Amino acid sequence: MINYFSKYKFIFYLCNLILIFLYLFPGSVLGWFLYKDLSLQPQITQDFIVSTNHLYAYIVLSVIGFLTFRKKNQFNILSIYLIFLSITLEVLQYFVPNRSFEFSDLFGNLVGVIITIILFYFFKRNENFKN
């Protein structure tokens, strides 16, 4: 399973494109698909301090990214890229009609990336310790 993602990098790139499209589309594509209403946003679970939809999206994207790019230098570059992407996409929503910048969304993005970075850091550290 782990080698599957590293062989097929297009999966990570496709997930990036889908995420960018969903973030920058004026309105909710998922709301239109599920409810036939662009103004409704589907909610997976209740929000706490952070937006859980954003948290889940960035955990999934980060896990796919870290399974795709497994080398040490790629880990660092991917970490920076994911943090930069999470901030940039949220700030760009300020300029998109029917979308808005929200700190809870930004924190959800960042927490999703940071949780995944920490988990993969410990897995890599444990993997190196065994060898």
26-52 pLDDT, tens digit each = 877 777 777 787 777 777 777 778 888
89-128 pLDDT, tens digit each = 999 999 988 888 989 999 999 999 999 999 998 888 777 6
Which run of H or of E encompasses 16? helix 10-24
Task: Indicate the pTM of the whole model.
Answer: 0.85
- Residue spans per domain, the chain: 2-130
Calculate the alpha carbon distances from 35 to 41, 46, 87 in Å.
Answer: 9, 18, 28
Structure tokens at 92: 């760009």
